Structure 1
Amino acid sequence: MNNRQRATPLLLLMVALPLAAQTDSVTLRRVYSLNPVVVTGTGHHQRLRSAISPVEVIGQGSISSSSPRLFAESVVRQLPQLSISPNSTGAYLRLNGLSNKYALILLNGKRLIGDISGNVNLNRIDMTNVRRIEVLDGAASSLYGSDAIGGVVNIITLQEASKPLSFTTDTRVSAHGQFRQAANLQLGFRGFSSLTSFTHDQSGYYRNNPLTYKSGTDGDTYQSLAPLASGWRTNLVTQRFAYDNHKALSLFAEGSYNWHKTVRPETQTDVAGGFDYELRSEAWRWDAGATYRLSAKNSLQLRFNGDHYSYGNEYDVATKTYAVGDYVRKKTQRLYEGELKGVFSFLQGATTIAGIDWQNSFLDAISGSVDRHVYTWAGYLQHEQALTKNLKALLGMRYTYHETFGNNFTPKVALLYHYDRLQLRASYSRGYRAPGLDELYYHYYTFVRNFPTLTIGNSNLKAETSDYFSFNAEYQTRKWTAGITTFVNNIHDMIVKTIVSVDVDEVASLRRDFPEITDAQVITLTHYNRYDNSDRGRVYGLRAHFTVEPLDGLSLFANYSYILARQQSDGIWSNVERSIRNTVTLGADYIHRWGRYTLGLHADGRLQSKTYYPAPYEDAPGYGLWNISTTHTFRFRGLEVMPSLGVDNVLNTRDRRIDSTLRRYANYSSGTTIVAGLRIKY
């Protein structure tokens, strides 16, 4: 696909929209707010333009206009520094060249746990209830603790009812059995709010090429059932109660339950690639807190939350050991957290945040008989001060005591200089990440598609640390914003999976540790994965963004990201797995109202270079995807009816390569698909 073909959908829309604006009708202004309120960068609410740490925001208007079904669709279409690869066990997320474990995912400011083989289940995020997504790049351990080395993704959902009664239902259908049905009910009365939501989402599996290379035979292929992308069925229920007297006290309590099950082809006797079982997970999450406002600028916050995630195998095919319907639990993860936090304004032009945080993490895994837990205590202090009319500084620090790895100190220093419409930001922050319980103790073995996967934890691992330096320049007017960010992230004692060859002496030892390995499988067991500390990692990055509203109701954006992510082991530098050098995201939105009818047009595209994989695996080729969608809103005395129609992957870009054990993918699209939806709101 050449550049001219890739640009065609966006150019056509950009030409057509100004013509539409000439009609004699009412036009809605300010499709996107260029200066929204954010909280992730500094831990308290402030305008984006005033934030010392640069934060990127995907607002509710942007989410609604692109009509995403999943969290992954919403973020990768706009943020070039972030990529997500679907997997039968969840999603593999990368932020600024670094993997899942370096990107802290928060839901309303509290971490979201739960993974299968390192892949996070992002289906726990209900996109119909999301108000904005904030992304903070770089180390943020001074405020958020462990894991925030590559950055923070904070998903903010609806917090309270906006009117006494509101009901919304969302329906979305597409190819491969993709279907979503969501319903939300809001009740509000004299400061009390009740928010109830339910979402059912499902998708079938698919593959773009039914062939795969036959193991050990060059050039020989055969039919395979193994899907490029697995399907799923998931249900998510959330209930939130809140009270705010709009004077001194606000309270909330929230709980959610998520059930998720994969959909994959079943084992057949004549064609390889099927599965005897599906992966089924369940997650329970609760969160409760109180805020007491001492004055307009001083408050105390107390919060407790818990997260419980469990998964296992549910058999669809009878085997020698299991009957159809049998469920075998594989792993359970739990996290409990309590935090006391104060936000104060003791001095003119200053904000001080102080808090203490306690966490206790648990891992119970059947494979390897792992039953471990670890607790941490932390205290943090952050002071933000206006030094002059145009200069603001931030100094933050966090002390952490980890039950296994002892004491750690993570500071942060940042400056913001603004003059008229120009903002200049510079920062240094220290990152910290304690090895996960799975990396320390997990023993995992599976045999899928005639190939074994064996991963062994390492109790001798050291904690990872990082030094992050960044500089940001941004110019903002009423109509447009442009900015550029450069950064360097140096990671010390980086934890990586190393491939260890299996020799004859190790076979007997491995079979004692993993009695489920059969005699036939031993022949194919040539290596296993082990967690180790490499020497270091280093990420160089440059990002540029531009947003403009050239006409009332029309908004355009363009983002570019260059990431050079490298890791060193035994003196040898190599590309970090799944890192991408160059990525561009482009988009356009237009909204126009004629009386009780509003038209919304949206187009977006993502272009990226190849994705790097370690030897002996092949790199995945680059690609470009374009999507368009339309929304039509009709209003009738408090009732809103909004049908939508769109096309995903307009140019039918697919990776049709024949599958093999050494082949990896970056583009998981099944090709051009029609997407239809209906939203009704009262």
Structure 2
Amino acid sequence: MKRKLCFTLLLLTAMEHVPAQSILKDKEEKDLAVMLKEVVVTGTGTEHYLKDAPVQTEVITRKALEQYQARSIDELLSGLSPSLTFHDGDMGGHIQLNGLNNDYILIMVDGKRMNGDVGGQNDLNLLNPANIERIEIVKGAASSLYGSDAIAGVINIITRKSHNKVEMTSNSRIGEHGDMRESASVGLTLGKVKSVTGINIRHTDGWRNTDLQWNQQQLKPGSTLKTVNRSTNYTLSENLEWEINDKLQLTAEASYYERWVNRQHGQWSYLANDFYYRNYSVAAGSKYKLRGRNYLTADFSYGRYGYFYDYKLREITDYFIDGERVTYYPGQRIKQSVQKQLLGQAKGVFYFGEKHILNAGLEYLQNYLESPHRIEGDETSVYTLAAYAQEEWTATDRLVMTIGARGTLHQETGFNLSPKISALYKLKDFNLRAGYAVGYKSPTVKELYYNYTATLGGGALTAYHGNKDLKAQTSQYASAGIEYNGGKVQACITGYVNLIRNMIELVEITPTPEEKLDEIEKSKEYRNLTKARIWGVDVTFNYQPTKDISLSGGYSYADPKAQYPNQGSDYMKYIAIDATSQHNATLNAAWRHNWKRYRLGIGVYGRYQSTRHYVKDNDADGFQTWRINTAHTLNGPKKWTLTLNAGVDNLFNYIDRTPFGRNRGTTTPGRNFYASALVKFKSR
């Protein structure tokens, strides 16, 4: 055994997530596609049936994605998962999971860290819905397996693989306010080579929910700002797989993304520029099968993500070059920041008999940031080295335990150890799960070095400052839950507590005399808060009384609070973490029926979000929205499927008319009619 373990460690040269040797190895090929829908990989990095996964995992299937017909992936996730909340912005999707924002949520694509941070937020517009097979959500600290950022949880987006000679999918959606989305993919299999090519285009004319704006502490009518700005984006992607032989598989990926955001210039808001984003990424990977079910993987990826100003008005800046003040003119495109990420990963999975699985790997991550005038020297970088090991032990037919740890060395914050232990106990139709983990999050390059001034959402002119003295954030996460899997009913309730130390937040500080001369109203700096604590409960259920009717939903309660500095006598008092809501719920009901040549589906989806709390500014109102979608599927030739969808977003016409410069609960424009067409073609 010792020799085998030593041999294992010597073979580790690559990581991260290529799915494990299939647990369905004894199934026939025709059964594989069906059974894989019940298989998850994110919680442990190895394959498990969903009902047997040692780590609780929430799954959004491709079928649910197509039936919901959302305007965006943000809207889809928040509509189907009560734990996730979003509010759209020009800088990407502002995500929250169980009381923590985007910074504490690791988003992955096929098990690899998603790149493309824009203004501190991941822009999910980068993803092509037509290429998504399913989405797996694991809540709680997962740093022992996935490293930094996985304190609140992990969202793993699994992309489609080509299984036929030719596969084509096209999903076209149009709605009010100039909303348009086209998501298409083509899958080809030529011998041992498989290819999936995708294109995703999205456009909106935007909308305005109010013309009121706070300006110089006064509420004024006649604002020309838009609640959601006019924007257009597209993504081109290519995924290749090559089966060299029975042991070796190679993969390659590439994507290119552009986005334009047009901002309305107004009488109180001098918006001299629009926004432009240009991103591209490339990746390569390999998987080598060893004896039995053992295997090694290696992955490498590089991404470059650019953020620019497109000037439409003349602007005199506060920057000087060779003693002369810099002035920009209409038609100029000026780089604001370019982020580059270099990621190398290695992983080995080894099966020791039927009771032990060792999952171990190495990771190297280098983050670069270029930004003229906003960081010292105009560019900087930070590296991270990490190694991890995890053991899955099937102690009995009823008890499965997972024990692991990751060691991380960060250039600025030093070494950190993130252990984890979890257990699953099966009792007839019930699963009992419990776990404890230490979470870890290193400061981002922007939090360390980035300095800028901006007016966001029509609010006050604010200076934002990085902080080179930041410490790494850590958390202690514990959870326990019970799951029931009956014939017609599935239900789960999980309680958790998350204790965070050195939490990084933007904290308001006193503006400097120089900032006051520049008419800056507020100044904020990234700081390590003393403590933060979150506890909550998640409930999900699925009930299918007949083959045609299903009812599902969930409720998430979170109480996220932190001790904020500069609060005077309230320094030790726990205050609600910025932009968090305690109560979130979803309810979905569907009816489907088949006739010979026609299938009708009707789905009703509800979403509730309570008041969103803020430390300094006003709280955002709670709200609930409902939508209805009707799906009409025409059963034509075996190779073709056509589904026409028609529906109504925000059925009861709720509109948040909070003035610009104050926090809003939602940006929805009110009742919105839409239609879509989903076309599929498969040739074996």
TM-score, length-scaled by structure 2: 0.89
8 Å CA contact retained: 1:214, 1:222: no
Equivalent residue in structure 2 for 1:528, among 491, 509, 523? 523
Matches within 5 A, 1:142-541: 142-158=144-160, 160-217=161-218, 220-244=219-243, 247-265=246-264, 267-268=265-266, 271-273=267-269, 275-319=271-315, 321-369=327-375, 370-447=378-455, 449=458, 451-502=460-511, 506-508=512-514, 510=515, 522=517, 524-541=519-536
Please state whether the residue corresponding to 1:334 is helix, strand or coil: strand
8 Å CA contact retained: 1:205, 1:263: no
Query: Hey, what does 2:26 align to over in structure 1?
Result: none
- Return the offset for 1:375: 1.3
2:292 & 2:315 partners in 1: Cα distance?
Answer: 65
8 Å CA contact retained: 1:176, 1:205: yes
Query: Hey, what does 2:599 align to over in structure 1?
Result: 598
- Return the offset for 1:33: 8.9
8 Å CA contact retained: 1:292, 1:300: yes
Q: Number of matched residues?
A: 628
Please state whether the residue corresponding to 2:653 is helix, strand or coil: coil
Query: Hey, what does 1:23 align to over in structure 2?
Result: none
8 Å CA contact retained: 1:362, 1:373: yes
8 Å CA contact retained: 2:459, 2:660: no
Query: Hey, what does 1:628 align to over in structure 2?
Result: 628
1:75 & 1:314 partners in 2: Cα distance?
Answer: 31
Q: Deviations over 1:313-363 (max 9, x none)?
A: 012334563333210100011111111111111132221101111111111
8 Å CA contact retained: 2:233, 2:257: yes
C-alpha distance 246-634 of structure 1, shift in aligned 2 (>3 A): farther
Matches within 5 A, 1:67-78: 67-78=69-80
Q: Deviations over 1:28-57 (max 9, x none)?
A: xxxx99972111100011111111110111
Query: Hey, what does 1:584 align to over in structure 2?
Result: 585
1:156 & 1:639 partners in 2: Cα distance?
Answer: 24
2:466 & 2:130 partners in 1: Cα distance?
Answer: 38
The amino acid across from 1:404 in the alignment is E
Please state whether the residue corresponding to 1:636 is helix, strand or coil: coil
Please state whether the residue corresponding to 2:574 is helix, strand or coil: strand
Please state whether the residue corresponding to 2:563 is helix, strand or coil: strand
- Return the offset for 1:447: 4.8
Q: Deviations over 1:574-620 (max 9, x none)?
A: 100111111110002233221232222211100121000112x1111
- Return the offset for 1:383: 0.4
2:165 & 2:115 partners in 1: Cα distance?
Answer: 34
The amino acid across from 1:236 in the alignment is T
Equivalent residue in structure 1 for 2:133, among 127, 131, 134? 131
8 Å CA contact retained: 1:428, 1:467: yes
- Return the offset for 1:256: 0.4
Structure 1 residue 546 corresponds to structure 2 residue 524: no
2:621 & 2:138 partners in 1: Cα distance?
Answer: 28
1:675 & 1:311 partners in 2: Cα distance?
Answer: 31
8 Å CA contact retained: 2:103, 2:121: no
Structure 1 residue 63 corresponds to structure 2 residue 65: yes
8 Å CA contact retained: 1:88, 1:231: no
Q: Deviations over 1:113-151 (max 9, x none)?
A: 333332321110111211111111011000000111111
Query: Hey, what does 1:16 align to over in structure 2?
Result: none
TM-score, length-scaled by structure 1: 0.89
Query: Hey, what does 1:614 align to over in structure 2?
Result: 615
1:398 & 1:676 partners in 2: Cα distance?
Answer: 48
The amino acid across from 2:542 in the alignment is T
2:660 & 2:381 partners in 1: Cα distance?
Answer: 38
2:459 & 2:492 partners in 1: Cα distance?
Answer: 50
8 Å CA contact retained: 1:112, 1:307: no
- Return the offset for 1:635: 3.1
Please state whether the residue corresponding to 2:438 is helix, strand or coil: strand
Equivalent residue in structure 1 for 2:55, among 53, 59, 80? 53
2:118 & 2:296 partners in 1: Cα distance?
Answer: 37
1:425 & 1:254 partners in 2: Cα distance?
Answer: 36
C-alpha distance 296-189 of structure 1, shift in aligned 2 (>3 A): farther
1:329 & 1:363 partners in 2: Cα distance?
Answer: 12
8 Å CA contact retained: 1:367, 1:445: no
Q: Deviations over 1:65-96 (max 9, x none)?
A: 11123110111001111111111221211111
Please state whether the residue corresponding to 1:68 is helix, strand or coil: coil
Query: Hey, what does 2:680 align to over in structure 1?
Result: 681
C-alpha distance 450-64 of structure 1, shift in aligned 2 (>3 A): closer
- Return the offset for 1:273: 3.8
Aligned Cα root-mean-square deviation (Å): 1.8
2:117 & 2:586 partners in 1: Cα distance?
Answer: 28
Query: Hey, what does 1:21 align to over in structure 2?
Result: none
2:175 & 2:163 partners in 1: Cα distance?
Answer: 31
2:589 & 2:132 partners in 1: Cα distance?
Answer: 21
Please state whether the residue corresponding to 2:581 is helix, strand or coil: coil
Query: Hey, what does 1:565 align to over in structure 2?
Result: 560
Equivalent residue in structure 2 for 1:79, among 73, 81, 90? 81
8 Å CA contact retained: 2:283, 2:301: yes
Q: Please, which moves more after superposition, 96-105 or 204-213?
A: 204-213
- Return the offset for 1:103: 0.5
1:595 & 1:316 partners in 2: Cα distance?
Answer: 57
2:445 & 2:315 partners in 1: Cα distance?
Answer: 32
2:268 & 2:206 partners in 1: Cα distance?
Answer: 16
C-alpha distance 37-245 of structure 1, shift in aligned 2 (>3 A): farther
- Return the offset for 1:424: 0.3
Please state whether the residue corresponding to 1:65 is helix, strand or coil: helix
- Return the offset for 1:465: 0.5
- Return the offset for 1:526: 3.6
Please state whether the residue corresponding to 2:426 is helix, strand or coil: strand
C-alpha distance 445-367 of structure 1, shift in aligned 2 (>3 A): farther
Please state whether the residue corresponding to 1:162 is helix, strand or coil: coil
- Return the offset for 1:215: 2.8
2:595 & 2:81 partners in 1: Cα distance?
Answer: 32
1:654 & 1:595 partners in 2: Cα distance?
Answer: 42
8 Å CA contact retained: 1:171, 1:180: yes
2:303 & 2:397 partners in 1: Cα distance?
Answer: 44
8 Å CA contact retained: 1:226, 1:274: no
1:329 & 1:496 partners in 2: Cα distance?
Answer: 26
- Return the offset for 1:680: 2.0
1:435 & 1:450 partners in 2: Cα distance?
Answer: 26
The amino acid across from 2:472 in the alignment is A
The amino acid across from 1:229 in the alignment is V
